[in-house]
Amino acid sequence: MDTPSTDRFSPAVPDTELTEPMTSAVQVRSLTKVYGPTRAVDGLDLDIETGEVFALLGPNGAGKTTTVEILEGFRTRDSGQVAVLGSDPADASSAWRDRIGIVLQSSGGLDLLTPREILHATARLYRRPRTVEEVLAAVGLEAKADSRIAGLSGGQRRRLDVALGIVGRPELLFLDEPTTGFDPQARRDFWTLIDSLSDEGTTIVLTTHYLDEAEHLADRVAVIIGGRIVALDTPAALGGRNSQEALVSWEEAGTRHTEKTAAPTAMVTTLHARLGGEIPGLTVTRPSLEDTYLGLVATHTAPEQLS
């Protein structure tokens, strides 16, 4: 993961304006950010449609956090064109920031407050916030609403981070590893919350290391490696995943058989006819999103970077 910048909220280097009509929540052209000899973001192009859930995947140091911090207006860029909700984040107004929600990887300095207190204070910064009670219920913190934040568990603190990101009823929500520290049920509850926000029309930009999370939540996913997007598609079609051969396995005459085929339905039909009905131990699998992602990382990463 990229190291957070020390120039948060500082203006970016001005660049030319995007010339095409603004039809997306996010438009990026030729985005570049360089640290010494390292091109953290290397001529990146990206469009995120209004109302979609978009997941940005990639190994640590790939440029995900740098890219997202530029979109949020928290980090300068060296060159390129960026429009987020129609404005350049480098010099966007407070009215623009009112339309943005951000869930960082962690927050601090709140230990003496309670979730209810910090949510009330944060809600006052927005023109049309959600009610504090609604937000507490949405993230499952009702029982801890009046407890000191210092006494919350790691997972409960993460829920509070999410609460602070959504209390302003944002049009565009940035989620950076939002379910780190959540137990399995809390993750499923969070997914339900994100589904509901998406149903309301909120555009969501998600970075996550959980491939099942990306597969469940995202309309589209992009894989960024070395500061470039190397694959972008729906989770089902990423890297040609939906067209790859399937593995069909079954048991016959006491032996386990496995065959790779581009026509699994036809093979199952043939097996059904040959075996006269139920096919013992039948499984049909295609490469998972994790399989596809790891293959892309291996293909686009130099051997010394994998060691």
Of the candidates 296, 55, 289, the residue with the CA atom closest to the CA atom of residue 306: 296
Range of 267's domain? 245-285
User: Are residues 177 and 269 located together in one domain of the fold?
Assistant: no
Q: Residues 276, 188: one domain?
A: no
- Residue 4 within a domain: no
Residue 86 belongs to domain with CATH number: 3.40.50.300
Average pLDDT over residues 126-152: 93
Give 259's strand partners: 248
Contact assessment for residue 88 and residue 60, using Cβ atoms and an 8 Å cutoff:
no
Q: Do 216 and 265 fall into the same domain?
A: no
Residues 30 and 92 in one domain: yes
Q: Establish if 123 belongs to a structural domain.
A: no
Contact 214, 233 (CB under 8 A): no
Percentage of residues in the chain having pLDDT higher than 70:
89
Mean pLDDT of 287-294: 88
Whether residue 44 is found in the same domain as residue 94: yes
- Asked whether residue 8 carries a pLDDT value surpassing 50, the answer given is no
pLDDT number for residue 15: 43
Residue 172 CB partners (closer than 8 Å, separation 6+): 25, 26, 84, 85, 99, 100, 101, 202, 203, 204, 205
At residue 107 the predicted structure's pLDDT band, cuts being 50, 70 and 90, is low
**pLDDT at res. 119:** 96
* Together in a domain, 177 and 262: no
What pLDDT is recorded for position 33? 97
Residues 182 and 86 in one domain: yes
pLDDT value of residue 14: 40
| pLDDT score, position 18 | 53
Higher model confidence: residue 179 or residue 66? Answer: 66
Does residue 217 sit in the same domain as residue 278?
no
Residue 10 resides in a domain: no
Q: Indicate the residue among 222, 238, 254 that finishes a domain.
A: 238
User: Residues of the chain with pLDDT > 90: what percent?
Assistant: 62
Task: Looking at the structure, tell me whether residues 231 and 266 fall in a common domain.
Answer: no
- Say which range, 118-132, 148-162, 292-306, has the weakest mean pLDDT: 292-306
Whether residue 6 is predicted with pLDDT greater than 60 in this model: the reply is no
pLDDT 10s digits, 23-75: 699 999 999 999 999 999 999 999 999 999 999 999 988 999 999 999 999 99
44 vs 158, higher pLDDT: 44
Other C-beta atoms within 10 Å of 5: how many?
17
CA distance 294 to 57: 11
Question: Is 131 part of any domain?
Answer: no
In this structure, the answer to whether residues 31 and 94 fall within a common structural domain is yes
Cβ atoms of residues 250 and 259 within 8 Å? no
Q: What is the structure's pLDDT at 299?
A: 87
**Predicted confidence (pLDDT) at residue 147 exceeds the cutoff of 60:** yes
- Which has more pLDDT, 21 or 102? 102
> Do residues 187 and 266 share a domain?
no
Please indicate, yes or no, whether residues 230 and 250 belong to a single structural domain of this protein: no
For the chain, how many structural domains are there in total? 2
